[in-house]
């Protein structure tokens, strides 16, 4: 992961409009981790990540930024909702499980890499196994000429299996190992161990059940799992994954405002929220968490927290937690112009999505620029008049504009349909300006 901050911002620009500060801060934080990794281990230990708190009202791109980062980054990355955790001792997920989730994510990254590197070996293993089933081996006593014939048959069969010609045939395969992975990270590691031993016991008890009649096609994917577990060194993978999560892992803590306790509504607040905040402290600050795969130290994990803070303020978090998110970035609310740009300049924008969807019905949807301007304008107006729900408003507004067209699309197959400004206003003016109506419809 050695993209420069500029490159990271450039990438994010394709999907998220404006919000420059947030993009820059995050890009810089990521680059800092890369820089740190180039230093001597002594210095590395000294440099702690600066966690980030993103503040911005609903629908302005907080989660979108993280979603896009997750896709782009090759580093262990998970996004979790702070509101789903409960205090230790209460029923529910405890906060340490987010670190375990990160490790699981890291393992899948490293494993995928290894699978990629050993792709040929894995494929050979799979094909051989299947061919073995389709062509029973010759007895040792067979004559030389029979053996030659057999070789020819064998390679012909290999080609057929590879090309997919045999996909529909069924074969019986036995599995060396029941591949039940207990990746429920909610379980504390001790419990996970118990579960594992149980599954081992069942494994030895039920030898027969591991034979299974499947199509060649299914066998290909089933055997791939087996091949990977046989050919890849899982211990090394786990160790590498643990190291990467420790040094480069990022935990995106969404909806952090939901665990803040507002001074105004103390009475109605759930006391365990504060407990969750306290449980978070050691993890964000740096502590050791035991996972099934080993102990991981959280010192260098980067935490990016985000929240709308509509009902609460960052200062409603307990002071110790506030202090652990020293970098603050505010996301701007969306203007009419930003909404217009979100519609026109993002990759896979909503407009493109609708065009593609109706394209399936054979209909060509054309949005006139004037119409897009009007959609942005009316969305912005609706945000002003009722609640500001940011770019999510575009979804409801567009849905309203296209409702009928979308419903009757099958009748207009092969036609071009132009969305004009007049059409947009006809559909929306009444609704937007009528407070009650827009509250229900938009």
Q: How far is the CB of 310 from ligand ATP (least distance, A)?
A: 8
The answer to whether 86 touches 272, Cβ cutoff 8 Å, is yes
Nearest to 171 by CA among 224, 229, 137, 132: 132
Q: Distance between terminal CA atoms of the chain?
A: 42
The answer to whether residue 83 forms part of the interface with Mg ion (CB under 5 A) is: no
DSSP 379-409: HHHHHHHS---TTHHHHHHHHHHHHHHHHTG
Number of Cβ within a 10 Å radius of residue 316: 18
Q: What is the CA radius of gyration of the chain?
A: 28
* Residues in contact with ligand ATP, shown as a per-residue x/- string from 22 to 61 under the rule CB under 6 A: ----------------------------------x-xxxx
Helix (DSSP H) and strand (DSSP E) numbers for the chain = 18, 11
Binding Mg ion by CB under 5 A: which of 24, 37, 63, 297? 63
Residue 229 in 3-state DSSP? helix
Query: By CB under 6 A, is residue 246 in contact with ligand ATP?
Result: no
62 scored as a contact of ligand ATP (CB under 6 A): yes
Considering the rule CB under 6 A, would residue 64 count as an interface residue with ligand ATP? Answer: yes
Task: Quote the CA–CA distance of 189 and 250 in Å, as a whole number.
Answer: 22
Strands 211-215 and 170-174: antiparallel
Site string for Mg ion, 10-49 (x = CB under 5 A): ----------------------------------------
x/- letters, 162..201, toward ligand ATP (CB under 6 A): ----------------------------------------
Q: Of 17, 130, 289, 363, which lies in the binding site for ligand ATP, with binding defined by CB under 6 A?
A: 17
A 10 A CB-CB count for 295 gives 11
354-413 binders of ligand ATP (CB under 6 A): 390-392
Residue 342's binding partner out of ligand ATP, Mg ion, none, with CB under 5 to 8 Å set by partner kind:
ligand ATP
Considering only residues 257 to 316 of the shown chain, the ones binding ligand ATP according to CB under 6 A are 308
Q: What are phi and psi of 303, to 5 degrees?
A: -110, 130
Candidates 105, 291, 346, 383; binder of ligand ATP (CB under 6 A) is 346
Footprint of ligand ATP (CB under 6 A)? 16-19, 56, 58-64, 308, 342, 346, 390-392
Footprint of Mg ion (CB under 5 A)? 62-63
């Amino acid at each position: 992961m050695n993209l420069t901050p500029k490159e990271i911002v450039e990438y994010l620009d394709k999907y998220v409009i404006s919000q420059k500060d947030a993009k820059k801060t995050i890009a810089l934080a990521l680059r800092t981790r890369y820089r740190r990794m180039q230093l001597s281990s002594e210095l590395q230990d000294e440099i702690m990540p600066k966690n980030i708190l993103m503040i911005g009202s609903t629908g302005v791109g907080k989660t979108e930024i993280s979603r896009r980062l997750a896709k782009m980054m090759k580093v262990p990355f998970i996004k979790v909702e702070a509101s789903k955790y409960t205090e230790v001792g209460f029923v529910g997920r405890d906060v340490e499980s987010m670190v375990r989730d990160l490790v699981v994510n890291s393992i899948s990254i490293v494993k995928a890499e290894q699978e990629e590197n050993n792709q040929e070996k894995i494929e050979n293993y799979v094909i051989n196994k299947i061919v073995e089933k389709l062509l029973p081996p010759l007895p040792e006593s067979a004559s030389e000429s029979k053996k030659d014939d057999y070789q020819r048959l064998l390679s012909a069969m290999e080609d057929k299996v590879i090309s997919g010609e045999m996909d529909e045939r069924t074969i019986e395969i036995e599995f060396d190992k029941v591949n039940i992975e207990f990746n429920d990270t909610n379980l504390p590691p001790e419990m996970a161990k118990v579960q594992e031993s149980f599954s081992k016991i069942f494994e030895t008890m039920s030898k027969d059940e591991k034979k299974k009649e499947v199509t060649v096609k299914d066998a290909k994917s089933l055997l791939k799992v087996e091949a990977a577990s046989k050919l890849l060194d899982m211990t090394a993978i786990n160790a590498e994954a643990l190291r990467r999560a420790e040094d480069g892992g990022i935990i995106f803590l969404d909806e952090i405002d939901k665990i803040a306790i507002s001074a105004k509504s103390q009475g109605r607040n759930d006391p365990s929220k504060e407990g969750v905040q306290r449980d978070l402290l050691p993890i964000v600050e740096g502590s050791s968490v035991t996972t099934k795969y080993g102990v991981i130290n959280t010192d260098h994990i980067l935490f990016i927290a985000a929240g709308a803070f509509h009902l609460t303020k960052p200062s409603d978090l307990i002071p110790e937690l506030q202090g652990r998110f020293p970098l603050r970035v505010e996301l701007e609310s969306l203007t009419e112009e930003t909404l217009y740009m979100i519609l026109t300049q993002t990759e896979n924008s909503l407009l493109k999505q609708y065009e593609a969807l109706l394209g399936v019905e054979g209909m060509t949807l054309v949005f006139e620029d004037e119409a897009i301007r009007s959609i942005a304008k009316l969305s912005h107006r609706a945000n002003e008049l009722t609640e500001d729900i940011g770019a999510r408003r575009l979804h409801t507004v567009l849905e309203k504009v296209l409702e009928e067209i979308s419903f009757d699309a099958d009748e207009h197959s092969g036609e071009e349909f132009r969305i004009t400004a007049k059409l947009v206003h006809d559909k929306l003016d009444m609704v937007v300006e009528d407070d009650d109506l827009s509250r229900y419809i938009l």
